[in-house]
Each structure stands twice: as C-alpha cells, then as structure tokens.
Structure 1
Amino acid sequence: MSQLEDPDKYRAPALDKGLDILELLAGTEEGLSQAEIAKALDRSPNEIYRMLDRLVRRGYVRRTSADRYEVTLKLFELAYARPPLQRLLSQALPVMRRFARDAEQACHLATYDRGALVVAAQVDGPGYWNVSIRVGSRISLVNTGSGHILLAFAGPDERRLMLDEQDPPEGLTAALEERLKQVRRQGYENMPSRQIAAVSNLSVPILGPMGRVLAVLTCPYSERLDVRTAPGRDRVMEMLIGCGEEISQVRG
C-alpha cells in the first residue's frame, strides 16, 4: 500500500489524543470533568489526566473552580496571528468600522474553513439595536449570503470540494445553481435571511489576485423603524459594495 493510500502510516497517538480532547471540549458550553472526558473518548482516566495536564500547562485548556475543563482562546489567538489573516483584518477593520458607523448596521468578515465559513471579525453598529454574529461562528455555505458569495465566485471543481466538505455534505441543487449564477453576474448577494425573520443578508466578496475570493463581507441588515434618517437597504447595499471594492483594491 502506498503512502497516499495509507493515511495512518505516520500516526501520532499522543497528538491524536490531545486533538480529540480539544475537539470534544470545543463542542461543550459548560466544560467536562476528567471522568466525562475519559468516558466520551473511551480512554482510561490516567491517559486523560496526563494529556489534560499538558494542555492546561500549555494554555489550551483551563480547569474551572468546579473541577471541570474547558478550552481557552489560545487556538483562536494562534489562528488570528497567521500573517495573511492578520494582514487582511488589519486592512479590513477600519473600513468595516466606517461602514458600521455610516450605515448604522453591524457587519462581519468571514473566511472559508473545512466546509463552512468562519467569522473572523465583527463590528457592531453605533446604536443599541444590532443584529450581529459572534466571532468564531461557523456559517453554512448553502443558505447564507456569505456562503452564496463564496460558492458563486469559486470554480466548478473548487465549489464541489467545498460542498463535499460540509457536514453533512450537500450537493448543488438546480435552484441554488441558478442563484449562484445571478450572484456572480451582479457581484453581490441580497437575500432574506433564512435564520432570522425580517433580516436581509447583504454580502460582497473580498477579492485577491486573479479574482479569487479571500473573504466575504456581510451586513445582516435590519430596518430601523425608530430612526428615520438611517440609510435604507438599497443605500446600505451600495455602501457595502464600495467597502468590498476598497478592501479588495488594498489586497490586490
């Protein structure tokens, strides 16, 4: 069997064990005890204790006062520190803050990661009322404005790989394919949110060299009824398009 056919040829059991613990804890809100972790991973308490001790000492996991373990933000900090992403955020955030102030709406920037988009930055609007999404949230490709932008500007092979990486995988329906063609032609997405009533997903691409999508800038637009001077949806869409082009020019 060739190396390409044997993904476990160079297994690292200790590393796998540590990653299993991190992935398990990342999916819980209140943390887990050592016994709960051992049971969930079908490991002995001694195995789990040694690995937890190392993860705590390295700052990836913390032990709470209730004797439970939870992940820290260290992994996110490492991802944020990647030079390409850090440069993108340093260039995008001033533009995003200006948009949020002028449009009186929140906005967020998302990048692709293993079958989904992950929110890398988020800026609130200036008022008390905002529709926003937390940094680190994972966004679907098929039913969000951000996902439609990413898929619309991807090539056929790349798009298929993205859809296959979803959990669970989803194919490209005829209706979605037609929508993506329209998005590609017009250069933006403007669609009703499929998660929150009375909210519109306004999304534009952040393009790099060769027209490749580096990220997606989205405004979850909600109409303000109490502020008559706030820009309407069409105007906000125009402002967002301008911001996307501005960031893309800096990145190009």
Structure 2
Amino acid sequence: MEEDDSDRYRAPALDKGLDILELLAGVDGGLTQAEIAKRLGRSPNEFYRMLDRLVRRGYVTKPDGDRYSLTLKLFGLAQLHAPVRRLVSYATPLMRELAETSRQANQLVVFDRGSAVVIAQQEAPGYWGISIRVGSHISLFDTGSGHVLLAFRSPEERQMMIAEHLRSTEKPAQPQAFYDRLDQIRDRGYEMMASLQTAGVYNLSAPVLGPDERAIAALTIPYITLVNQPSAPDITQTIELVLATAEKLSQLAGSDVKHTG
C-alpha cells in the first residue's frame, strides 16, 4: 500500500508543538499541562519539554502559575508579514495627504514582540517637522502610539503586551493611573499628550481598527507649532485630520467603526 503523502514527511515534535499552539489559541484563561494532555489525548509527560521550549522561546507564558497561555509573539510575527506590507501600501497615499493638509510629519506604528515599531513615516512638506525612522522601536508606556496600541485592546491582550514589553525593556510596571489613562483614551477615541522625549512636541495619535475593533496600528503626528505658517491647522484641527485619516485606514482594514473626536 502506498504511503499517504500527508504522513510521508511527518515531524512528530513539530506536530506536537503546533497542536499545543492551536489548542491554546482557542482557549480563554489558559490550560494546565494535564488539561492540554487530556484534550490532545496524550500523557502529560509527553508535553513537558515541548511546553518548556515554547515558554523559553516566548510563544507561551505561564501568567497564573501552572496554566499555560499564548503570548502575542505569533501575532507580532504575522504583523510584520504580508498584512503589514499591504497596510503600508494602503496607508502611504493617505499619510502623504495627511502631511500635506496638516503641514506635519506623521508615522504608522504597530506592536511587535514587546515594542511599538514604526513601519511607515511621511515627512512634513515644509522645512520643519519631527520624523522617526522606519524600523525604530519606541516605548509602549511613554508615547502616544504606544498608548493607543494598548488602549484599543482587550484587558487580557493589554496585559500580555505589557508583560512582553517589560521583559524586552526591563522597565518598571506602571501604576493604576496609567491603566486609567488607557481607558480614558479608548473612551475619547485618541491620545493627545506632550512628548516625553522632545520639548514643545505633542503626540496626536489615533487607532487604525480592524474588523474586531482592535487596534492593528496607531497613526501619529508629532505636532509642532509652526509660527512661520500662520495658515497651518492648529492642534485641534490637526487631531481631527488624524482621526479622519485613521478612520479611512480602518475602513480599508475592514472596520466600520467611526472615530469620534
């Protein structure tokens, strides 16, 4: 009898790891090692080493002692693959138009493996503007983009993103006031904050939402007052421009959510 092509090149260890990831992806609250083994019809001892490797590689975490849950590492890897390239291609003409109408630079930021990462940026059309290089890693805690990426996520995803950020940056945990601010940003629909890196700059950030109303990216203008261009939009008009552009991007991403300023 001919060997089935699906079994000819089996890799049992890889299959076991993928079985675990696929199982945990469909479970809220995580599973113990014994529960994983029971659901997959195997003995618990078969999964000890595999779970240990998945934890060490950052794909799985144990936030509640003996329960295993997925991290956002797979999500982060997917973010930097084809969907992100498509997002950048959709965003580029809209970001160029935003730069022209606002007279300010702007950037598009996604979450990737513990950091906020700039995946696209558009220079200001005039002499002056604040821009950040594509590929730069910025903080989740003290930037408008980071705040928006956290604010428009479920509490569980938010905690995983923060845990990954703490591991990758060794920054201290944030006080309750920080989480209260994230809730306020979600209610308001955007972030507007003085830059904690550059004096005189205000971060104006709005979410690009997917069909599930979660932020897949943050669109941010590092706003500076242009004293030599009195006709340039003021900060209130500029946040409206950011919101309108983010809404267009959200619609391209399949969301029908309306931003409210």
TM-score above 0.5:
yes
- Aligned counterpart for 1:198 among listed residues 197, 200, 221: 200
Runs of 4+ in 1 over 4 A off after TM superposition: none
- Aligned counterpart for 1:4 among listed residues 43, 50, 57: 50
Question: Which position in structure 2 is the counterpart of 1:231?
Answer: 233
Give the 3 Å change call, closer, same or farther, for CA 214–81 of structure 1 in structure 2.
Answer: closer
Q: What CA distance in whole angstroms lies between the structure 1 residues aligned with 2:208 and 2:253?
A: 8
Matched-pair contact (CA < 8 Å) for 1:101–1:125: yes
Matched-pair contact (CA < 8 Å) for 2:144–2:204: yes
The answer to whether 1:85 aligns with 2:84 is: yes
- The structural deviation recorded for 1:228 is 0.8
Which sections of structure 2, spanning at least 5 residues, go unmatched?
Answer: 1-44, 58-77, 255-261
Question: Which position in structure 2 is the counterpart of 1:117?
Answer: 116
Matched-pair contact (CA < 8 Å) for 2:79–2:110: no
Which sections of structure 1, spanning at least 5 residues, go unmatched?
Answer: 12-78
State the secondary structure of the residue aligned to 1:230: coil
Q: Counterpart of 1:214 in structure 2: which amino acid?
A: I
Give per-residue Cα distances to partners, 1:219-239, cap 9 Å, x unaligned.
Answer: 000000111111111000000
Q: Counterpart of 2:81 in structure 1: which amino acid?
A: R
Matched-pair contact (CA < 8 Å) for 1:117–1:147: yes
Q: What CA distance in whole angstroms lies between the structure 2 residues aligned with 1:113 and 1:81?
A: 8
- The structural deviation recorded for 1:169 is 4.8
Q: What CA distance in whole angstroms lies between the structure 2 residues aligned with 1:92 and 1:247?
A: 7
Q: What CA distance in whole angstroms lies between the structure 2 residues aligned with 1:80 and 1:212?
A: 13
- The structural deviation recorded for 1:140 is 0.3
TM-score normalised to the size of structure 1?
A: 0.69
The answer to whether 1:164 aligns with 2:183 is: no
- The structural deviation recorded for 1:190 is 0.5
Q: What CA distance in whole angstroms lies between the structure 2 residues aligned with 1:117 and 1:81?
A: 12
Q: What CA distance in whole angstroms lies between the structure 1 residues aligned with 2:190 and 2:92?
A: 20
Q: Counterpart of 1:7 in structure 2: which amino acid?
A: R
Q: Counterpart of 1:190 in structure 2: which amino acid?
A: M
TM-score normalised to the size of structure 2?
A: 0.67
Identity level (%): 45
Q: What CA distance in whole angstroms lies between the structure 1 residues aligned with 2:229 and 2:79?
A: 36
- The structural deviation recorded for 1:87 is 0.9
Question: Which position in structure 2 is the counterpart of 1:151?
Answer: 150
Question: Which position in structure 1 is the counterpart of 2:210?
Answer: 208
Q: Counterpart of 1:201 in structure 2: which amino acid?
A: N
Give the 3 Å change call, closer, same or farther, for CA 80–206 of structure 1 in structure 2.
Answer: closer
Question: Which position in structure 2 is the counterpart of 1:45?
Answer: none
Matched-pair contact (CA < 8 Å) for 1:163–1:169: no
- The structural deviation recorded for 1:177 is 1.3
Q: How large is the Cα RMSD of the aligned pairs?
A: 2.0
Give the 3 Å change call, closer, same or farther, for CA 225–147 of structure 1 in structure 2.
Answer: same
Question: Which position in structure 2 is the counterpart of 1:106?
Answer: 105
- The structural deviation recorded for 1:81 is 8.0
- The structural deviation recorded for 1:5 is 3.6
Q: What CA distance in whole angstroms lies between the structure 2 residues aligned with 1:237 and 1:223?
A: 13
The number of aligned residues is 184
